[in-house]
Structure 1
Amino acid sequence: MDHHEETTNLIAGGKVSGTEVYNGAGEHLGQIHDLMVDKRSGKVAYAVMSFGGFLGIGEKYHPLPWSTLAYDERQRGYIVNLTNDQLKGGPAYADDLEPEWDRDYESRVHGYYGVRPYWDQ
């Protein structure tokens, strides 16, 4: 078995990028652009979702706390219980303006989505 292949419960980080994201109604919202991993625990803290734009132009990146995503075997993608409007109003950044990933920014992200911070779980 190639060490980059998926097992039942695990997936290589490089393969998560590009995975589709849907809302609870099955509507396509975007796709996973990248993951942010906590250096100390090794746990995934955020999935950064690409959303909006056309052919990569004007795309925004939305950090979603990992706890807001659930993998759906049937759709082979992640489900978030968020509307388009909730996503549009959430913390986001352009490709060339990545935020300072400090506790202040991370607290705002978790506060917006109403979930406990990963460092407090």
Structure 2
Amino acid sequence: MFPVQAGEGFPFAGRLVTVSNTEKGLFIPVPFDMLRDAGITEGSQVEVWGLIDGTVSMRIATKCQFCGRGARLYDLDMGPVKRQICAEDYYKLTGVYPQELEKPTTENTTQTEQP
């Protein structure tokens, strides 16, 4: 990434990376923090697609065994069966979030005075 000068905004919505050629195609480096936040680790399968407008997108290619959505999965031991489910379904079934995931903040902390 190139440095942003003082008083300037970043000209791109995402991160700017340099693409390189390999024997199997193009290599596009994706920053580790973006991969981690998406639940993508080494060896994960991802779906990649391109659009006519030049957009190339990717998402993790794993589906929750309960709701069927593509998401980062967590193991839940249900007696004789071990299921891989998303964080939302994990919470619905156990009442707690998976240990690797921080509880999302949904509370409004802004205080206002009453007249």
TM range, smaller chain: under 0.3
The answer to which structure, 1 or 2, has the higher relative contact order (CA under 8 A, 6+ apart) is 1
> Which has the larger share of helix?
1
Give the greater-gyration-radius structure (CA): 2
Taking structure 2 as the reference length, the TM-score comes to 0.24
> Which has the larger share of strand?
1
Taking structure 1 as the reference length, the TM-score comes to 0.23
